[in-house]
Amino acid sequence: MDKLTQLYIDELAQATHKSLLLQAEVEKLQEENKKLQEDIDKIREENRPLVLDQPAEKTKEKSEAKEVKNV
């Protein structure tokens, strides 16, 4: 095997190794992202009643303000 072929094989082996390391990092980050998204969804679900209650209170305040104006 000549030097050029050996150099090509070495470079290919290094690139393959780096690719595998990067793929492992991507999978790790995807798993972390999935866990964070689950946390976000959980927090949103916990806060949903709070968000739904707020507009109702504002609507009630507007209705009361209209009644005062009409009187």
Q: Each residue of 27-47: b (16+ CB within 10 Å) or e?
A: eeeeeeeeeeeeeeeeeeeee
Dihedral through CA 13, CA 15, CA 17, CA 22, nearest 10?
A: -170
CA distance 59 to 11: 68
Asked if pLDDT for residue 63 goes beyond 90, the answer is no
Q: Is the pLDDT of residue 52 over 80?
A: no
Mean pLDDT, the chain, whole residue set: 84
